């Protein structure tokens, strides 16, 4: 399970859900994504030590310590992070996600949509996004599941 963010182009009058659905019906683009080099550079500066796998149709980068991944698969940009944290640590993850989203938005002209909250990621209150992590952590604990980020 992961917290996912999708980078979308929304047309006038189109809902975010409709913009997300439109991704399934668009022509797949396997060329070098617009802004890829800027995103790699920016994410690397924010997180340090990102591993990059670049080549058609999948362009990905990941950060082992946080589990954050940014990818562009056949022209569809997304970002994900495992639900490894809760509380203050989750707030820190949300801050990182927002900083990365700003880099991707600047490089691509797309908007970071957060389907967990139904809002643009950069407009979501940090506590609302971190609350999703907290609810998942509670659900894991109820089932006796420990995440890799659980220090207890």
Residues 52-94: tens digit of each pLDDT: 998 888 899 999 999 999 999 888 899 999 988 888 999 999 9
* Structural domain includes residue 148: no
Burial of 61 (C-beta count, 10 Å sphere; 0-12/13-18/19+): buried
| Mean of pLDDT over the chain | 86
* Structural domain includes residue 133: yes
* Structural domain includes residue 147: no
* Structural domain includes residue 39: yes
Structural domain of 134: 2-142
pLDDT beyond 70 at 26: no
What is the predicted pLDDT for the residue at 113? 93
CA 133 → CA 28, 49, 84, 127, 147, distances in Å?
32, 24, 8, 10, 11
What is the predicted pLDDT for the residue at 4? 94
Q: How many domains, in total, are found in the chain?
A: 1
Instruction: Give mean pLDDT, residues 18-33.
Output: 68
* Structural domain includes residue 56: yes
* Structural domain includes residue 150: no
């Amino acid at each position: 399970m992961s917290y996912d963010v999708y980078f979308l182009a929304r047309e006038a009058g189109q809902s975010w859900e409709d913009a997300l659905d439109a991704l399934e019906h668009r022509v797949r683009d396997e060329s070098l994504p617009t802004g890829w080099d800027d995103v790699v550079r920016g994410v690397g500066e924010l997180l340090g030590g990102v591993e990059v796998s670049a080549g058609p149709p999948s362009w990905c980068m990941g950060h082992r310590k946080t589990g954050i991944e940014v990818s562009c698969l056949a022209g569809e940009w997304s970002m994900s992070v495992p639900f490894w944290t809760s509380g203050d640590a989750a707030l820190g993850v949300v801050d990182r996600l927002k900083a990365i989203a700003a880099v991707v938005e600047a490089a691509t002209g797309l908007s970071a949509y957060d389907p967990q909250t139904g809002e643009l990621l950069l407009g979501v209150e940090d506590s609302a996004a971190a609350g999703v992590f907290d609810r998942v952590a509670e659900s894991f604990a109820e089932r006796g599941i420990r995440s890799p980020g659980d220090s207890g």
